[in-house]
Amino acid sequence: MATFADKARQAQQEKRAGRDEKDPADLSGAQEPDWDNPGTWGGESSDADDSASGNAGDPVGENDGPEPEPEAPPKRPSPAAKVAARAPRRRGRPRGPERVALTVRILPVNDRKLTAAVEQTGLNPQTLVEEALEAHFRRLKIQDPGAAKQEGAA
């Protein structure tokens, strides 16, 4: 039976194959430039004054017209506008409890076990990790130090 990770890997490979993507670093099929003729190095056209600016050969100080007005820098939205601009929550999806972002690295064996647990239980990795941490804290009898501070403030 294919694991969740195997299925995801296979789906990604099929998606790439469907787009016929070519690796930009793959030089197979690339034509060797004619090193003796520098005029052909720029690609299709052989214009000698082909430059990135398009101004090659123009006399200095001569412009075609008035200077363009500088654009005003874009205004940053206020925090309230950011909240208002955020996409609305999908129906049937109540907002969960506030969470703190945490990044950890785990051993490959634990990653494989976590993937297997996700497949067996149908729970997401975040829920499984939170339940495992809570069980571990209960076993060690570790209490929430923030709960005592909140009781003292009330």
pLDDT value of position 136: 95
pLDDT band at 61 (very low <50, low <70, confident <90, very high): low
Of 53, 55, 30, the residue nearest 43 (C-alpha): 30
- Widest Cα–Cα separation across the chain: 85
Contact call for residues 128 and 117 (beta carbons, < 8 A): yes
Q: How many CA atoms lie within 13 A of 57 on its CB side?
A: 6
pLDDT at 78 over 70: no
pLDDT value of position 121: 93
Note the pTM of the prediction, 2 decimals: 0.39
Q: Which amino acid is at 49?
A: D
Distance CA 35, CA 40 (A): 9
Distance CA 51, CA 57 (A): 10
Of 12, 9, 30, the residue nearest 21 (C-alpha): 12
CA-to-CA dists, residue 76 to 70, 79, 80, angstroms? 18, 9, 11
pLDDT band at 46 (very low <50, low <70, confident <90, very high): very low
Distance CA 154, CA 102 (A): 29
pLDDT (tens digit, 9 = 90+) per residue, 2-25?
Answer: 788 888 888 887 877 777 666 666
∠ CA 110-106-140, nearest 5°, is: 80
pLDDT (tens digit, 9 = 90+) per residue, 107-148?
Answer: 999 999 999 999 999 999 999 999 999 999 999 999 998 887
pLDDT (tens digit, 9 = 90+) per residue, 79-113?
Answer: 666 656 667 666 776 777 888 999 999 999 999 99
